[in-house]
Chains A and B, each alone.
Chain A
Amino acid sequence: MTARADFLARIRREVAKAPGQFAASAVPRPPHPGAAAEAIRRELTERWPQALERFREEFERIAGVFHRVPTLEAVPSVIAAIARERGASRLVTWDPAALGFDPGPVLSRDGLVVAAVRAGQEDDAARERHRAEAAAAQIGVTGADFALAETGTLILLSGAGRPRSTSLLPDVHVAVFGRDRLLETLEQVGVMLEALHADADRSMSGAMINFITGPSRTADIELTLTRGVHGPKEVHAIFVEAP
């Protein structure tokens, strides 16, 4: 292993030797990312219906299943229907506080076993229990911090009450979100990421952000497209109309 100072000194020497050869410019960062993010959100309060339409189109193109419900109260029955169709009996969900609603009571009445994560429980026993529950669940229910229309992508921040594996280990991933999560372009995602990281310790409680664009897939055997290699075979998006 080389010492940091020696390693960097070598690179500094080489960089100094090389005159810039080609056009060079990084993308300018937004000077006030928070304000820029706010401006995008304001614009989207007008344009969200178009963004939603585009999201649905792109999401379905990559084999996502799109649902639309009027209010949060209607969400659990959609999840229950998904479980019924697939013969699923076990679910794992984000903390109801992070989801914005608690699907537990309705789903339990349907005879489903629901393991909801609770923020604040993070000792080793809780970790072990959670891992076993997540590995056994057939359906994982999460929110979505952003829904990117251009590519049909769900963007999820990990954190307290929002485990990384809820959208990964179960065969089916269900993400629930409202109109305020819609974005139109990757460029807007860039602004949001800048804003999130401007004061990351406060704006994010976790260390991971995942962009999820459809189900897990591979074409490694004779280029035959196959879904659900390691991650979910199915991804559902439930859009809640009520603001």
Chain B
Amino acid sequence: MSDTALRAPFPERAGAALKDTFLQEALTIATTKFIDLRRESFAGFPQGEALRDQARAIKEATLQRLDAHLERLADNVERLGGVVHWATTADEAREIVLRLARERGVRMAVKSKSMATEEIDLNEALEHAGVTAVETDLGEYIIQLAHEKPSHIIAPAIHKTKGQVAELFSRELRGEFPADPEVLTAVARKALREKFLQADMGITGANFAVADTGTVVLVTNEGNGRMVTSLPRIHVALMGIEKVIPSMSDLVVFLAILARSATGQKLSSYTTLVRGPRRAGELEGPQEFHLILLDNGRSRQIASTLREALYCLRCGACLNVCPVYRQIGGHAYGHTYPGPIGILLTAMLKGNESVRELAHASSLCGACKDVCPVRIDIPRMLVELREHLDREKIAPWSERVVFRAFRRLLMSETAFRVSARAGRLLQKPFVRQGRLRGLPLLLGRWTRTRDLPPVASRTFRERWKDLR
């Protein structure tokens, strides 16, 4: 998606997505499949519900002593010979990576999939500094070659057909490749294998970091997370501060539910635990290990509205079940993190102004909360966010005026009664087959895609007088 498309207002972006028939089909197939896989996985796992409660309690306990856990993590990483960097902002985090690359003469960096590096736009910064940054997760590799952005947290290229990928690979990798996922995967394997062996720096995120032991944990299916932490001479891990957990005993609780929520697997193919640089006696592994702890707006929310969003494991389950995401896909959201949790994370990282439209891109149906492995109450926070937008006068004035009028109406019995009568009169031309359709002016936007029940010929309040 181009920059202009990203700058377009949300309704336009969503509208474009709704008209894209391929995208519509791809989204339905992908999200339905993920939903089924997740459901089957938890159906055969009775202890899953208790583990979800436990995982949630661990996240809350960690937040209540976040400073102490981060300190312990940092002490342990340093004791192991790693270097810890503290980045308050995205700018600082980028600067740390760029400085490391510059000082150590890094020409090529291989990356495993990391939403945190997407969040700080690291690739652009590296390219700008003359460092080739290669995404190695197959989905990320595809969208990097296509100069696009991920459209799903765990399946970044679900918006592309195999035909499009074949064309892309044929052009960028110089060959003639058929639209066969097996062949295309083999092509990527070969191209990326060379990069793994040549690269000077491996860049990863972290799914978890264990404070007790100074361990960074990466969960992947392809094995690229293992490559980038085993072959290059420098490993840089960038993690949001909320990823820290206290102990190995806690880690296994999360592992038991993470892959099940994301892809329906019992465990992802690879769970990699990294404790600092290679030890004396090891033939392989990086000489240097750097851990960048990223705040970027997170700590502001510890004592604020979006606190619970800090529990998020980035599994993507809430995207798949969201009736809005299922219709418009990830790009229409216009930010790094899409879907229901993405709205909250965007507000967290970029401020409430950035979601003045997105805060309404939810039907508040609660499906996201039901599937969240740590039971984040996303709908509650979305409502609170809308309230903030109104109170801080960020919401458009028209919206605020309408809601204020609505509140007046609901709080006065007389006004409510009168408005019912007025409505009954005014609605007459628009009632067809017992439903309100084709309303005029601004209201027409609502009835263009759905109808409304008309005001009853006798309202409940009117009937109640007789029934009493």
Q: State whether A231 and B269 are in contact (beta carbons under 8 Å apart), knowing that A17-B303, A164-B285, A208-B230 are contacts in the complex.
A: yes
Interface centre among B57, B74, B222 (most CB of A within 10 A): B222
Residues of chain B with a CB closer than 8 A to A25's CB: 57-58, 61
Q: State whether A206 and B267 are in contact (beta carbons under 8 Å apart), knowing that A27-B58, A224-B181 are contacts in the complex.
A: no
Interchain CB contact under 8 A, B86 and A206: no
Interchain CB contact under 8 A, A226 and B185: yes
Interface stretch (choices A74-82, A106-114, A183-191): A183-191
Question: In the complex, what distance in Å separates the CA atom of A39 from the CA atom of B358?
Answer: 53
Residues of chain A with a CB closer than 8 A to B12's CB: none
Interchain CB contact under 8 A, A208 and B229: yes
Interchain CB contact under 8 A, A207 and B274: yes
Task: Tell me the minimal C-beta distance from A90 to chain B in angstroms.
Answer: 16
Question: In the complex, what distance in Å separates the CA atom of A119 from the CA atom of B303?
Answer: 51
Q: How many residues of A contact B (CB 8 A)?
A: 83
Task: Tell me the minimal C-beta distance from B399 to chain A in angstroms.
Answer: 29
B interface footprint on A171-212 (CB within 8 Å = 1, 0 otherwise): 000000000000000110111011001001000011111111
Q: Is A88 an interface residue (CB 8 A)?
A: no
Q: State whether A220 and B67 are in contact (beta carbons under 8 Å apart), knowing that A24-B61, A208-B285 are contacts in the complex.
A: no
Q: Is A223 an interface residue (CB 8 A)?
A: yes
Q: Is B241 an interface residue (CB 8 A)?
A: yes
Residues of chain A with a CB closer than 8 A to B222's CB: 216-218, 229-231
Residues of chain B with a CB closer than 8 A to A120's CB: 281
B interface footprint on A212-243 (CB within 8 Å = 1, 0 otherwise): 11111111111110101111100000000000
**Can you list 6 A-B contacts with CB-CB less than 8 angstroms, sorted by A residue number?**
A131-B231, A163-B284, A164-B226, A168-B230, A218-B221, A220-B155
- Give the residue of B54, B161, B283 whose beta carbon is less than 8 angstroms from that of A126: B283
Question: In the complex, what distance in Å separates the CA atom of A151 from the CA atom of B57?
Answer: 24
Interchain CB contact under 8 A, B249 and A2: no
Residues of chain A with a CB closer than 8 A to B67's CB: 8, 11-12, 15
Q: Is A28 an interface residue (CB 8 A)?
A: yes
Q: Which size class do B's interface residues fall under?
A: 35 or more
Residues of chain B with a CB closer than 8 A to A216's CB: 221-223, 269-270
Interchain CB contact under 8 A, A206 and B250: no
Task: Tell me the minimal C-beta distance from A86 to chain B in angstroms.
Answer: 16
Q: Which of A130-153 contact B (CB under 8 A)?
A: 130-131, 135, 150-153
Q: State whether A221 and B165 are in contact (beta carbons under 8 Å apart), knowing that A7-B86, A27-B249, A119-B281 are contacts in the complex.
A: yes
Interchain CB contact under 8 A, A206 and B33: no
Q: Is A89 an interface residue (CB 8 A)?
A: no
Interchain CB contact under 8 A, A22 and B60: yes
Task: Tell me the minimal C-beta distance from B262 to chain A in angstroms.
Answer: 11
A interface footprint on B211-224 (CB within 8 Å = 1, 0 otherwise): 01100000001111
Interchain CB contact under 8 A, A11 and B241: yes
Interchain CB contact under 8 A, A206 and B279: yes
Interchain CB contact under 8 A, B61 and A222: no
Query: What 7 pairs between A and B have smallest CB-CB spacing?
Result: A231-B223, A18-B303, A160-B281, A220-B139, A17-B303, A190-B252, A211-B271
Q: Is B205 an interface residue (CB 8 A)?
A: no
Interface stretch (choices B124-132, B293-301, B430-438): B293-301
A residues near B (Cβ < 8 Å) are: 1-4, 6-8, 10-12, 14-15, 17-18, 20-30, 58, 62, 117, 119-122, 126-127, 130-131, 135, 150-153, 158-160, 163-165, 168, 186-187, 189-191, 193-194, 197, 200, 205-224, 226, 228-232
Task: Tell me the minimal C-beta distance from B78 to chain A in angstroms.
Answer: 10
Interchain CB contact under 8 A, B136 and A230: yes
Question: In the complex, what distance in Å separates the CA atom of A102 from the CA atom of B277?
Answer: 29
Question: In the complex, what distance in Å separates the CA atom of A6 from the CA atom of B87?
Answer: 11
Interchain CB contact under 8 A, B185 and A218: yes
Task: Tell me the minimal C-beta distance from B182 to chain A in angstroms.
Answer: 6
Residues of chain A with a CB closer than 8 A to B57's CB: 22-26
Residues of chain A with a CB closer than 8 A to B6's CB: none
For A162, give the chain B residue with the smallest CB separation. B282
Question: In the complex, what distance in Å separates the CA atom of A10 from the CA atom of B213?
Answer: 24
Question: In the complex, what distance in Å separates the CA atom of A112 from the CA atom of B92?
Answer: 52
Interface stretch (choices B187-195, B387-395, B404-412, B458-466): B187-195
Interchain CB contact under 8 A, B278 and A207: yes
Interchain CB contact under 8 A, A14 and B303: yes
Question: In the complex, what distance in Å separates the CA atom of A213 from the CA atom of B222?
Answer: 11
